[in-house]
Amino acid sequence: MGIGDRVVARYGGPTLIRYLGRRALQAIPLLIGIVTLIFLILHLAPGDPTAVWFNPNIPPEVLDRMRVNMGLDQPLHVQYLRWVKAFLSGDFGYSYTQFRPVRDVIGDALPNTLLLSGTSLLVIFGVGCAVGSVQAVRQYRLTDSLLTFATLFLYSMPGFWLGLMLILVASTSLSWLGLPVSGMTSVDHSLLGPVGKFTDVAQHLVLPTIALGLASAAGVARYMRGEMLEVIQQDYIRTARAKGLSERTVILRHALRNALIPVVSLLGLYLPLLFGGALVIEVVFSWPGMGRLMYDGILARDYPLVMAASFLFAVLVVIGNLIADLLYAFVDPRIRYE
Amino acid sequence: MSRQAPPETRGGRPGPLDIVLPGISALLARRLSGFLALGSWLTLLGVAWFRRSRILDVLAQPGWDGILAVLSLVVLIAAIWLAGNRGRWRSIGSLEPEAGRSPVALAGRRFQRHHQAVLGLAMLATLTVVTLLTPLLAPFDPDMMNLSTGRLLAPSAAHWMGTDELGRDLLSRVLYGARISLVIGFLAVVIAITLGTAIGAVAGYAGGWADAILMRIVDLFLSFPRLVLLITVVAVFQPSIPLIVIVLGLTGWMGVSRLVRGQVLSVREREYVQAARALGYGPGRVLGRHILPNVLTPVIVAATLGIGNAILAEAALSYLGLGVQPPTASWGNIIQSGGDRIIDAWWISTFPGLAIVLTVMSFNLVGDGLRDALDPRHVE
């Protein structure tokens, strides 16, 4: 049974669908708000988008015609309504720099960002929960103190700097590992077989994933340690020990599962951090994703691209939060979304 | 005659040395605080002595930051000396219950027992002093270039952190960068806290439609990754320090407003608030005088942690070239300038990054300590 089946089995199909539907309805005003905010930012800026091509050689008639083409001659509310309609239907306009629709440009980059974010999420919650649990089990011993210091250090670290340090180490003292420090694929990627392609991308993923995930993993570990310490004191843990279960079973099967429940709620908290971090990490490692795209777009003043990218980042957060809520309902049987 | 023993008898008997070197008797009594006080006092005196020519230079040419630095040096030396002579250093670090049992005193003692928090506070104090004294401490002018012989020098006795691609001394740039980062972080958090408290208080107190609308606005801002919103705004306008401060403030208030709203909701039906309302006070007075002072504790914690986050965000922004613009040194843009030559000139990016980590870490340590200390549920 997949996760979806189990959710359905537990809550019944109609309840879940009703809940999903209600959340989707709630997301619509949020999306309109997001689009409005981006519209406001763009229109509060001095000058209009044609100022980007400011060039004394372009005759004013041509600039005027461009304005008409872009709808800039219309009253503001018309522009706004047109903007909202276009964005919500996925029409983000035309990229000035890549000479093709923004939707296509983003369609190429989005999977790469999702790949990087996905592996980082695994690191964040995998490493975070593991380290936090180890700390709690070894409370006040040397392991705990050392890990407390390490997590605090990592938690205070800018991801892009960690990325640079990883590049430094990977290309000097750890160069025998042969880890690539830039891009997503090797030069000969297209010549490789399917397995070769997979390992190639996986190798390129290692460093950006660590750089993007480690600081947040430290945050999760700090939280997990507290949760685990609380759970370990509960009566049912004493009962489990009294039954004669091995310490391993007590911790892994009884304590860990209960300590994990509140940690799931961190997912919603770390998603904006994750996507924001991805933006910088992609620049550090030349990862061809949305962040890199947005950054290049800003440098080239490619506003349609920038606005679409920031819209999509926000949409990803909204979707992510919805998934986090569902996951929360799934791991905590006490919660019912009626 | 007195409720408590005079301070002199606690940290060991004061000798004649105490007049010149405050805290020496406490040090002899193995008091950590006496040692720290003496250490920092001697360090400051050392700065004054070894940098005496710089002090004269700075005083000779007009400029507010030089004057401020000299002034802070004098004030700090005098203050530690005076405090040391009064025996304060012996009592500040001690855990004896002589300071009374007011909530503030209790919280203060809980904070002191939190060793990590004390460490963080010491780091912050050092950082603040260094920031104030930067014009006296920095070995070189941060903008002075040496294109002929000084480019990309590795760390050495003359240049502790090496030099950058224009031959500028990195230590001096990191020191001056500290001011920029700290000031931006601090001001941004002031804006964020003010805005967040106001919005959260109104939402929690008014309830109904105002609450619903304000909280949807919070949701809206929370659904943008902070950095995405930051670079979108900065990209459309021209990056400048005031703009960065404002935008950092405008993207950092949501957590605070949720926090304040929750707190306001929990105290607004208390008897003392009802009493204030029954006395006919308007909503402004009830909120400002009776509710807000009682919900500020978590806000202080959030502010401390928020400065760390703001510094990280500013660094990322400057790293992307959208924050503080060169030639003004900020930690983020120094790291950026070394990013391309990370392999052959590792020092350019490494040291400012360490400065960021240590700074953010000390804010996090203090924030954690404050959270534990200010939590009245901690019973002694």
Task: Note whether residue B109 is domain-resident.
Answer: no
Looking at the structure, tell me whether residues B250 and B356 fall in a common domain. Answer: yes
B233 contacts A279? CB cut-off 8 A? no
Local confidence band at B2 (pLDDT 50, 70, 90 cut-offs): very low
Chain B residues with CB-CB distance to A298 below 8 A: 231, 235, 322
8 Å CB contact of A317 and B227: no
Is the pLDDT confidence value at B108 over 80?
no
In this structure, is residue B327 part of a structural domain? Answer: yes
Do B179 and B268 lie in one domain? The reply is: yes
A48-52, A93-97, A224-228, B188-192, range with the lowest pLDDT: A48-52
- What pLDDT is attached to residue B3? 46
Query: Which of B255, B247, B244 has its CA nearest to residue B301?
Result: B255
Residue B106 lies in a domain: no
On whether both B178 and B272 belong to a single domain, the answer is yes
Q: How many CA atoms does the CB half-sphere of B165 hold within 13 Å?
A: 14
Q: What is the domain count for chain B?
A: 2
Q: Which of A93-97, A195-199, B155-159, B306-310 has the highest mean pLDDT?
A: B306-310
Contact A161 B349 (CB under 8 A): yes
Q: Rounded to an integer, what distance in angstroms lies between the CA atom of residue B187 and that of residue B180?
A: 11
CATH code assigned at B363: 1.10.3720.10
Look at residues B41, B67, B94 and tell me which one is the last residue of a structural domain: B94
Query: What does the pLDDT average to over A116-145?
Result: 92
Which of B220, B227, B228 has the highest number of chain A CBs within 10 A, making it the mutation to test binding with A? B228
Domain C-terminal end among B94, B111, B141: B94
Q: Among B223, B236, B346, select the one facing A168 at the smallest CB separation.
A: B346
Residue B260 sits in the same domain as residue B174: yes
**B248 pLDDT more than 60:** yes
> What pLDDT band is residue B107 in, cutting at 50, 70 and 90?
confident
What's the rounded mean pLDDT across residues B106-127?
Answer: 82
* B66 lies in some domain: yes
* pLDDT at A337 exceeding the cut of 90: no
Q: How far is A169 from chain B (nearest CA, A)?
A: 9
Taking the C-alpha atoms of residue A204 and residue A201, their distance in angstroms, rounded to an integer, is: 5
Interchain CB distance below 8 Å, B357 and A158: yes
Beta bridge partners of B163: B169
Please answer yes or no on whether A29 and B316 come within 8 Å at the CB atom: no
| Chain B: closest CA distance from residue A117 (Å) | 13
pLDDT over threshold 90, residue B147: no
Please report the pLDDT score of residue B363 as a whole number.
93
Q: Above 50 in pLDDT, residue B95?
A: no
pLDDT of residue B9: 44
Q: CB neighbours of B230 closer than 8 A, spacing ≥ 6?
A: B247, B248, B251, B313, B317, B322
Please check whether residues B175 and B79 belong to one and the same domain: no
Is residue B116 in some structural domain? Answer: no
Both B215 and B312 in one domain: the answer is yes
**φ and ψ of A289, to 5 deg:** -115, -165
Cβ contact, residue pair A33, B322, below 8 Å? no
Please check whether residues B346 and B212 belong to one and the same domain. yes
Percent of the residues in chain A that have a pLDDT greater than 90, as a whole number: 24
- Top residue of A52, A96, A146, A160 to mutate, by most chain B CBs within 10 Å, is A160
Model confidence at A158: pLDDT above 70: yes
Whether B86 and B174 map to the same domain: the answer is no
d(CA A66, CA B9): 85
With respect to residue B125, please indicate whether it lies within any of the assigned structural domains: no
Q: Of A198-212, A249-263, B364-378, where does mean pLDDT reach its minimum? A: B364-378
Same domain, yes or no: B227 and B328: yes
pLDDT band (50, 70, 90) for residue B8:
very low
Closest chain B CA to residue A40? B233
Range with lowest mean pLDDT among A36-45, B194-203, B255-264, B351-360: A36-45
Taking residues A261-268, report their average pLDDT: 84
Which of B94, B129, B160 is a domain's end point? B94
The CB-side HSE value for A132 (13 A sphere, CA atoms) comes to 28
Residues B60 and B205 in one domain: no
Q: What are phi and psi of B163, to 5 degrees?
A: -125, 165
Secondary structure element (H or E) that encloses residue B376, with its range: none
Burial group, residue B82, by CB count within 10 angstroms (0-12, 13-18, 19+): exposed
Mind listing the pLDDT tens digit for each residue in B268-293?
888 888 888 888 888 888 888 888 88
Cis bond before residue B327 (omega within 30° of 0): yes
Q: Which of B228, B308, B346 sits opposite A156 (nearest CB)?
A: B308
B287 part of a folded domain: yes
Chain A residues closer than 8 Å to B361 by CB: 152-153, 155-156
Residues of B in contact with A271 (CB under 8 A): 225
Residues B188 and B298 in one domain: yes
Residue B336 has pLDDT above 60, yes or no: yes
A277 against B17, higher pLDDT: A277
Domain that holds residue B35: 17-94
Closest CA to B80 of B112, B103, B47: B47
For position B368, what pLDDT does the model report? 86
Mean of pLDDT over chain B: 82
With a cut of 0.95, is the ipTM above it?
A: no
Residue B363 near residue B308 (C-beta atoms within 8 A): yes
CB pairs under 8 A between A and B: 135
Q: Indicate the residue of B220, B343, B364 with minimum beta-carbon distance to A37.
A: B220
Is residue B337 located within the same domain as residue B189? yes
Decide if B159 is inside a domain.
Answer: no
**A94 three-class SS:** strand
- pLDDT level of residue A113 (50, 70, 90 thresholds): very high
Q: Is the pLDDT of residue A195 over 90?
A: no
